[in-house]
């Protein structure tokens, strides 16, 4: 695998303002432990997925975050095409992350796709997710937003070249 293609499969995970870490979809699935057919959660879904909440429990443990610490209030996902979604925690029940089809990386919409079956909008199902931000923001309790990013930092603009 070339360095460029390897870089494209990395996903950034940021927890409550801490420095982000980079992981592969396979790392995430291994940490979640249980992999299942996406069709168990999404009618007509193909490929393999893992439960987002199970992954988060394992991730928090791996990072030394105590079980007593509150769960995030929101998940913000960012896609390669600049689409973003802010999802309240209570809508993530049964959320699944698709990471493979027939054991191979996603042919389209990768490196991973997030499916939110209990979400308030189909737009919370996000393809080409490259960033997961787990946020604690009680002031935005229940807030949902989604759409294409319209403002960029100078560093982001340089990366687009």
Which of 15-24, 34-43, 86-95, 124-133 bottoms out in mean pLDDT, i.e. has the lowest? 15-24
Give 134-143 pLDDT, tens digit per residue: 999 888 878 8
The CA–CA distances, whole Å, from 4 to 8, 9, 115 equal 6, 9, 27
Q: What local confidence, expressed as pLDDT, does residue 6 receive?
A: 39
6 or 68: which leads in pLDDT? 68
Asked whether the predicted pLDDT for residue 51 surpasses 50, the reply is yes
In a domain, 91, yes or no: yes
In a domain, 124, yes or no: yes
Asked whether the predicted pLDDT for residue 113 surpasses 80, the reply is yes
Give the whole-number percent of the chain exceeding pLDDT 70: 88
Give 147-156 pLDDT, tens digit per residue: 997 666 676 6
In a domain, 49, yes or no: yes
In a domain, 5, yes or no: no
Mean pLDDT of 31-45: 96
**What is the span of the domain harbouring residue 95?**
22-160
In a domain, 109, yes or no: yes
Give 94-105 pLDDT, tens digit per residue: 999 999 999 999
In a domain, 105, yes or no: yes
Structural domains counted in the chain: 1
In a domain, 70, yes or no: yes
Asked whether the predicted pLDDT for residue 123 surpasses 70, the reply is yes
Closest by CA to 110, choosing from 42, 44, 24, is 24
Predicted confidence band of residue 18 (pLDDT cuts 50, 70, 90):
confident
In a domain, 66, yes or no: yes
């Amino acid at each position: 695998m070339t360095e460029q293609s390897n870089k494209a499969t990395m996903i950034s995970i940021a927890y409550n303002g801490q420095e982000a870490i980079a992981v592969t979809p396979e790392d995430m699935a291994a940490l979640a432990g249980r992999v299942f057919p996406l069709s168990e959660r999404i009618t007509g879904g193909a490929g393999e997925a893992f439960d987002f909440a199970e992954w988060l429990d394992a991730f928090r443990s791996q990072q030394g975050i105590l079980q007593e610490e509150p769960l995030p209030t929101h998940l913000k996902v960012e896609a390669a095409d600049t689409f973003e979604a802010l999802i309240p925690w209570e809508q993530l029940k049964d959320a699944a992350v698709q990471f493979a089809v027939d054991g191979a990386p996603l042919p389209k919409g990768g490196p991973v796709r997030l499916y939110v079956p209990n979400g308030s909008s189909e737009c919370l199902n996000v393809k080409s997710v490259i960033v997961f931000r787990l946020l604690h923001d009680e002031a935005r309790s229940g807030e949902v937003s989604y759409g294409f990013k319209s403002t960029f930092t100078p560093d982001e603009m340089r990366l687009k070249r």
